[in-house]
Amino acid sequence: MTQDLNPYRPPTAEVEMAPVAAESRPLAGKGRRFLTLLIDQVGYYAFSFVLGIVLALAGAGQAIQGMNKLQEILFGAVALSVYYLFFESLWGRTPGKLVMGTRVVDMRGGPPSFRDLVKRTLARLVPFEAFTFFGVRGFHDRISDTQVVYLR
């Protein structure tokens, strides 16, 4: 029996995932984004704490305790960057976005490129960047041409 005549063969239709149009999903509101920020701050602190413990167990305990202020700021910036890039590049969502039902998309509604996510993450390192959400779009959204949409 050939595959063409086999009535039990699986269907051969090609499935293609098209990006969801940005207009079809509402943008996440300021309250939802603020709660997402709070949840992600807790996640970032937990991640930094675990990273510090792992580094201390690996023998870098003296170096961690002897950090000056600049080294502490750089450690925090690297930990923050790793936290956001890891989650947003793999799933388009951080734990805060997962809990709040939101996702990062590009302006067409598709997944953002890694380059866009790097720009988005680096923009978060600007002091007082979180206060830019009192306007229409936050700085890290504008600089990376991304937006956060509500999924539920």
Amino acid identity at 51: L
The confidence score (pLDDT) of residue 114 equals 95
Alpha helices in 18-146 (DSSP H): 30-55, 61-65, 69-91, 95-100, 114-123, 139-144
Model confidence at 138: pLDDT above 80 = yes
* Residue type, position 111, single letter: P
- What CA–CA distance (Å, rounded) separates 103 from 109? 10
Mean pLDDT across the stretch 75-86?
Answer: 94
Would you state the pLDDT for residue 1?
54
Write out pLDDT tens, residues 64-78: 888 899 998 999 999
Segments making up each domain of the chain, as ranges: 27-150
Query: What is the average pLDDT across 53-61?
Result: 86
